[in-house]
Structure 1
Amino acid sequence: MKAVPLFALLLAAPASAPAERPCIVYILADDLGYGDVHALNPEGKIPTPRLDRMAAQGMSFTDAHSGSSVCTPTRYGVLTGRYAWRTHLQAGVLFGDSPPLIEPGRLTAASLLREHGYATACIGKWHLGMEMAKRNGGTGKDEGKHVDYAAPIRNGPTAVGFDSFFGISASLDMPPFVYIENDRFTQIPAVEKTWIRTGPAAKDFEAVDVLPELTRRAVAFVESRAPAAKEGKPFFLYLPLTSPHTPIVPAPEWQGKSGISPYADFVMQTDDAVGQVLDAIDRAGLGERTLVIFTSDNGCSPAADLPTLNRHGHEPSGPLRGHKADIWDGGHRVPFLARWPAAVIPGSRCSRTVCHTDLLATCADLVGATLPADAGEDSVSLLPALRGAEVPPRPPVVHHSISGRFSIREGRWKLVLCPGSGGWGSPKDAEAEKHGLPHVQLYDMESDLGEKTNLQAKHPDIVERLTKRLEQLVADGRSTPGDPQKNDATVDLWKRKGNR
């Protein structure tokens, strides 16, 4: 698959920027692999006609990365433009009743856009923590058993820039199983239910209904905001979907459609949900003036039943090594499609390395704002790339695995600071150490996309250079130009003594 030559993009690009600020819709799938989108992986076996059409109508980024190979830290980076490993969350994810991760007063994409006249809404899976009142002495992670469901929620989505929120607190397999609207639970849980984990649930809450409900609400939001958008009051819709993450619960009308597996059915339903939102935008007459971004929070999870998918000839990571949780690219290189007819050339491709953290700087660029020194420390605007302009290489992207292992990508070179996957893939780090594998991995991503040949012994100079570069990016509290900032916690690059 070849990228559109830069000169062709420049010739076809609009002569000037669109006069109006676009509406922005950011759709974040949950655990969808790079190879699950047929437009990015023609050898894949799961039909994704709506995403394929979106790719044909816009730009496909083929080297886009989430800020982490798991849920919570990725979402933090999307909204704040800062790597989550700069916070106290050094590994793993939050749970359904965890306290908030976004610091009070931190600028987010939502708060920035609201300051510039946008209506802002979040519909879907939050998974960034919120302050739920506890009763009976409940503290910390207790699967929602001690939450006071009649009390208001503090420091959730509406405290970080969103005018409104409807959705769930974390992943669909994390209690409490009840919807939240703005700062209130919509019901008081009266029963317990189990979707992998067991916890308090609203009596009529069913996991299979969540994706359709979120889709319906997103469509309704677009329709309700269309008149104001046409009058110059744009909107920002952040739509973090709950699919195709576990529990894998395709709706009855989608069950069996793929002929492969429930996961494949769920991917098809997710594709259709995106299509419904795109259709709503177009029906409302907002297609030309709306920037729609579709991506995924990390790679496909092994919970998707990889052996069954592989037997049918489908690899959800495509040509990449690893899956969700891993430091290899299958853990964090993700689908990333952008549709904006007023500015983006249909059917174009961008091979530039980009990161989810780039949303905040992109929003600032769109509204003509300058980010303060203590915001968007790891964010670089995508606007020039979207418009087909020639831009210098992005500063290095830092990758992070579920166990907190680090990697740095600069140009063609990727340095990994662990001997194994850093996650769930084989070999895990302990297994790799047992087999005497080197403590670092170095890959040439231009010639070895599948990360098969470790070149650390052949290029010790590159290992040393990238190690020092990563150490500096950590010490500076930012990876972009600007005044140094403080990290919120001590960052341990190596995770254990003596592994250098």
Structure 2
Amino acid sequence: MPGDAALLIDPGRATMPSLLRQAGYATAAVGKWHLGLGAERGAQDWNGELRPGPLEIGFEYCFIMPSTGDRVPCVYVENRRVANLDPADPLEVSYGKPFEGEPTGVTHRHLLKQDWRSGHNDSIVNGISRIGFMKGGRSAHWIDEEMADTLAGKAVEFIERSKDKPFFLYFATHDIHVPRVPAPRFAGVSPMGPRGDAIVQFDFQVGAVLEALDRLGLAQNTLVIVTSDNGPVINDGYQDQSEERLGAHRAAGPHRAGKYSIFEGGTRIPFVARWPGRIRAGSVSAAAFSQVDLAATFAALAGAELAAEDCPDSLDARAALLGEDARGRSHIIEHSPQGLSIRAGDWKYILPGTYSDGLPIRIRTEIAEPGALYNVSRDPGETENLAAAHPDAARELRAELERIREAGRTRGE
């Protein structure tokens, strides 16, 4: 979605921060937002108040990138205003026509310090061309090499301000999203080029949060979760040596494909939880757990009550999170831009359609009727379609997927 998209979440709808705020928690969002701002696409007043946004859906404080690092506007928004904006140099944003006289990655490619490979060739900010066009607001422009320190610093500041009361921090680091432009102290520290360096820089940001919790004596009573919004992507629009220096590394492990894909490499993501005294250190769980369940699980942990219409697909998964339930969910609905699949036990069923496939090179794969059925326990790479050999299992999972979609909810059915 573009950087001038409207807010995707309707104000008034129950969210993790709104539920926790009702339970007395301080709430903050720091980092990559990419959920839209304002009520209408392209109608934002970047020089005035930006609403609705994070503060209208449950957060008390936010310091965010409006979209992603590769999309304009390349500024931070603190609460409802662009941070450090000079009124004498107003900010303009366009996802249509370029601004006359402003350099782009096409017209001024020689100015780039990181070249584009595909698509990312519109306005140049900090020597990097982005998606979309912007003009002005120069005092507010971020510096990519300082982004990790800036965002980690804001996250730690919120923890320090909130140390004497319950708090919820949603910290969405930019790393390892493109463009991958690490701070000088991280540049060259890995053998994998900027992508590997960005992974090391991500680790630094996680460490900054953990160090703050330790320093403030909060670690014992704080649940920390490190997870991702999708599987890995290697080449994602810039010439950053991500493919050339990948070596033998398999970013998705044994799983098929990566980001944008319905296959496990795209939908099965890391999930690491730390809660001293509640979650046994070093333990590994095979329980089925969906990020959708975080809302109901956090609400239960905080003593907040969900109304019948709240978070209709979120289940209380405390037992799985705490290692008390080895099985977890009976099913998980997985989603990609091209369609849906369902996981149930060892089985995974994918609806017929055309899907993104492959890693590091992305291709298109066609799944014909009656769909694809995989035993992901024995075949984590989803190499053998068993729909013909197990037609009953395929039909049952397809019917269950359609039933859930038609019901519009899975909690309290």
Give the TM-score normalised by structure 1: 0.70
Task: Tell me how far apart the structure 2 counterparts of residues 349 and 363 of structure 1 sit (CA, whole Å).
Answer: 20
Match of 1:4 in 2: none
Match of 1:365 in 2: 300
Cα offsets for 1:223-277 (capped at 9, x unmatched) = 2222x1xxxx211011011110111111111111002221011011101111111
1:288 counterpart (214, 220, 241): 220
Match of 1:46 in 2: none
1:95 aligns with 2:2: yes
Q: Give yes or no for contact 2:288–2:330 (8 Å, CA) kept in 1.
A: no
Q: Any residues of structure 2 matched to 1:172-321 within 5 Å, and which? A: 172-186=69-83, 187=85, 188-189=90-91, 193-194=124-125, 195-200=129-134, 202-203=137-138, 204-226=141-163, 228=164, 233-303=165-235, 307-310=243-246, 312-321=247-256
Q: Give yes or no for contact 1:420–1:427 (8 Å, CA) kept in 2.
A: no
User: 1:412 is aligned with what amino acid?
Assistant: D
Cα offsets for 1:457-478 (capped at 9, x unmatched) = 1011011100110011011111
Match of 2:98 in 1: none
1:441 Cα deviation after fit: 1.1
1:171 counterpart (60, 65, 68): 68
1:156 aligns with 2:156: no
C-alpha spacing 1:421/1:302, structure 2 compared with 1 (3 Å): farther
Secondary structure, aligned partner of 2:196: helix
Secondary structure, aligned partner of 1:167: strand
Match of 1:333 in 2: 268
- Report percent identity of matched pairs: 37
1:196 Cα deviation after fit: 3.0
C-alpha spacing 1:301/1:263, structure 2 compared with 1 (3 Å): same
Match of 2:109 in 1: none
Q: Any residues of structure 2 matched to 1:340-419 within 5 Å, and which? A: 340-390=275-325, 393-403=328-338, 405-418=339-352
Match of 2:97 in 1: none
Q: How many residues align?
A: 367
Task: Tell me how far apart the structure 1 counterparts of residues 146 and 333 of structure 2 sit (CA, whole Å).
Answer: 36
1:475 aligns with 2:412: no
Task: Tell me how far apart the structure 2 counterparts of residues 184 and 163 of structure 1 sit (CA, whole Å).
Answer: 14
Task: Tell me how far apart the structure 2 counterparts of residues 443 and 130 of structure 1 sit (CA, whole Å).
Answer: 39
User: 2:263 is aligned with what amino acid?
Assistant: W
Q: Give yes or no for contact 1:177–1:199 (8 Å, CA) kept in 2.
A: no
| Cα-Cα RMSD | 2.1
Q: Give yes or no for contact 1:395–1:479 (8 Å, CA) kept in 2.
A: no
Secondary structure, aligned partner of 1:238: strand
User: 1:307 is aligned with what amino acid?
Assistant: E
Task: Tell me how far apart the structure 2 counterparts of residues 472 and 450 of structure 1 sit (CA, whole Å).
Answer: 27
C-alpha spacing 1:396/1:234, structure 2 compared with 1 (3 Å): same
Cα offsets for 1:124-152 (capped at 9, x unmatched) = 111111117xxxxxx745xxxx7432221
1:423 Cα deviation after fit: 5.9
Match of 1:45 in 2: none
Task: Tell me how far apart the structure 2 counterparts of residues 286 and 421 of structure 1 sit (CA, whole Å).
Answer: 44
1:463 aligns with 2:394: yes
C-alpha spacing 1:345/1:317, structure 2 compared with 1 (3 Å): same
1:131 counterpart (20, 23, 38): 38
Q: Which stretches in structure 2 are left out of the alignment for 5+ residues?
A: 93-101, 103-122
1:117 aligns with 2:24: yes
Secondary structure, aligned partner of 2:219: coil
User: 1:249 is aligned with what amino acid?
Assistant: V
Q: Give yes or no for contact 2:64–2:76 (8 Å, CA) kept in 1.
A: yes
1:378 Cα deviation after fit: 1.4
1:338 Cα deviation after fit: 0.4
1:359 Cα deviation after fit: 0.9
Q: Give yes or no for contact 2:20–2:304 (8 Å, CA) kept in 1.
A: no
Of Structure 1 and Structure 2, which has the larger fraction of its residues in helix?
1
1:390 Cα deviation after fit: 3.2
1:382 Cα deviation after fit: 3.0
Match of 2:355 in 1: 421
Task: Tell me how far apart the structure 2 counterparts of residues 97 and 325 of structure 1 sit (CA, whole Å).
Answer: 21
Task: Tell me how far apart the structure 2 counterparts of residues 111 and 387 of structure 1 sit (CA, whole Å).
Answer: 23
Task: Tell me how far apart the structure 1 counterparts of residues 36 and 249 of structure 2 sit (CA, whole Å).
Answer: 35
Cα offsets for 1:169-211 (capped at 9, x unmatched) = 1111111111101011121438853433242264242222222
Q: Any residues of structure 2 matched to 1:42-81 within 5 Å, and which? A: none
Q: Which stretches in structure 1 are left out of the alignment for 5+ residues?
A: 1-93, 133-138, 483-500
Task: Tell me how far apart the structure 2 counterparts of residues 216 and 353 of structure 1 sit (CA, whole Å).
Answer: 34
C-alpha spacing 1:198/1:206, structure 2 compared with 1 (3 Å): farther
C-alpha spacing 1:119/1:439, structure 2 compared with 1 (3 Å): same
C-alpha spacing 1:162/1:372, structure 2 compared with 1 (3 Å): same
Task: Tell me how far apart the structure 1 counterparts of residues 327 and 380 of structure 2 sit (CA, whole Å).
Answer: 22
Select between 410-419 and 236-245 the one with higher mean Cα deviation. 410-419
Match of 1:50 in 2: none
Task: Tell me how far apart the structure 2 counterparts of residues 256 and 119 of structure 1 sit (CA, whole Å).
Answer: 38
Match of 1:32 in 2: none
Task: Tell me how far apart the structure 2 counterparts of residues 392 and 293 of structure 1 sit (CA, whole Å).
Answer: 20
